[in-house]
Amino acid sequence: MRWALGVEYVGTAYCGWQRQAHCDSVQGRLEQALSYIAQSSIEVHCAGRTDAGVHGFGQVVHFDTDKSRPTSAWVQGVNTQLPRDIRVVWAHQVDQGFHARFSAQARQYRYVIYNRQQPSALLHGRVHWERHRLDEHMMHCAGQALLGEQDFSSFRAAQCQAQHGRRELQLLNVSRYGDFVHLDIKANAFVHHMVRNIAGTLMQIGRGEKPADWAGELLAMQDRTLAYATAPAEGLYFVKAFYAESFSLPQLPVNEVLW
């Protein structure tokens, strides 16, 4: 049997999604909890791996098992074995044609910026703090030059292992809610650090350090060394993976994301 799960987590305490021998990971904790309930070894595959300190709201995973368990066991039961900063939100049995990564048609992230003079103690580790007033309208306008199928080499980490930098950016929206500035970004796939590198460049524009057309110029130059520094991981959330309706997976509203 193949099961899909919806998972949310706070990434602050983990070295990222991917299981690693030398540190604590979200994948490792989830597999340990699932294996306890199944009483056999379970390996999970996710829609999109997240880096150290990055959070997940709508992460989707799948796993195979020959153990028969009710749906509640894969949700409430697994949650009893997980730390409080990782939770399974839903479970759904799927056919063997479903793959959390390869069946995903698109993925959406949100980068959350807390934009006021003083940082917040309560939001520490959950948002990126920016003291300088940002012009969200200029950031939004600048980001529209990145839409469509483009080569994102200028926003690609040096250690990225993808064969090329071409991706299709389907949505980029910058909006303000009081002291919170949201960068919502959706694409068919992402190269390593793409969202955080775009966020860093747009914040540079939002502070008035670069003109609005700087983002488009960077894209055309295909040179990562010319772009602004990578934005910190703590502001980034994996929001949602998009799948064909035929899989009948639960869909949580994007607007439910905190902050």
Binding site residue list for substrate? 109
Annotated binding site: 109
Whether 85 is catalytic is no
Catalytic option among 24, 51, 64, 95? 51
Burial class (CB in 10 A: 0-12, 13-18, 19+), 142: buried
Q: How far, in Å, CA of 97 to CA of 102, rounded?
A: 10
Give CA angle at 105 (38, 4), nearest 5°: 10
Q: Give CA separation, 92 vs 49, 89, 98, 229, in Å.
A: 21, 11, 11, 40
d(CA 150, CA 121): 39
CA distance 51 to 48: 10
Catalytic residues: 51
